[in-house]
Amino acid sequence: NPGIPVVEMDTVHGTRSGKVLLTFFFRKCSLMLAFIINSCTQLYVKKIVDELYEVLGDEVFKRSFPVILTDNGSEFKNPEALEYDANGNQRTKVFYCDPMASYQKPHIEKNHEYIRYILPKGKSFNKLTQEQITLAINHINSTARASLNGHTPFKLAQMLMDNLLLEKLLLKQIPADEVHLKPALLKK
């Protein structure tokens, strides 16, 4: 069904072991979310989806995440745990890209480049907090894009998505002249 909004889901690794970012990309507005998780496992992915469901509530979650598209990584191999809440009620539908076909979720792969401006490849995520990740995501979502006709993902999300999602996840617009996409953003 081409009218149903798709959210792409993936992970971004720092060093070989340690904390990982779980990312979500809303195709209809290019908004990205990222959450720090202790390891790249089904347990931690489920924990974030459960927390999002609890924070957003049933209606907002279902409207925001009707379909999740991800790859065949082992951390995503339990679709029922993500699709259903603790009471067995369906909250989303999870679909997988074909094996070796990351081009089927190109938007999130491309958007990860913005994360790498702030967190270069090979940098450990172990000392990062969720507050720092949210700050980085706010800067990324406040970056105007030619592909969005000069608008920011945040601005489009305000128009196209439930604003409760933005509010409850502490997402906010950073003024254009204050957007910073370099590692210094997260230096204390």
Residues 53 and 63 sit within 8 Å (Cβ to Cβ): no
DSSP-H helix ranges across the chain:
42-64, 79-83, 106-118, 130-141, 153-160, 163-168
What letter does residue 126 receive in the DSSP assignment?
T
Comparison of pLDDT for 186 and 101, the residue scoring more: 186
CA 107 to mean position of chain CA atoms? 11
The predicted-structure confidence for 17-52, as pLDDT tens digits, reads as follows: 889 999 999 999 999 999 999 999 999 999 999 999
Which residues have a Cβ under 8 Å from the Cβ of 138 and sit 6 or more positions away?
154, 171, 172, 173, 174
Q: How far apart are CA 146 and CA 43, in angstroms?
A: 37
Q: How far apart are CA 50 and CA 86, in angstroms?
A: 9
Residues 128 and 18 sit within 8 Å (Cβ to Cβ): no
The predicted-structure confidence for 68-111, as pLDDT tens digits, reads as follows: 999 988 999 999 999 999 999 999 999 998 877 777 787 898 89
Residues 12 and 136 sit within 8 Å (Cβ to Cβ): no
The predicted-structure confidence for 113-145, as pLDDT tens digits, reads as follows: 999 999 999 899 999 999 999 999 999 999 999
Tell me the CB-side half-sphere exposure of residue 135, using CA atoms within 13 A. Answer: 17
Q: How far apart are CA 102 and CA 107, in angstroms?
A: 10
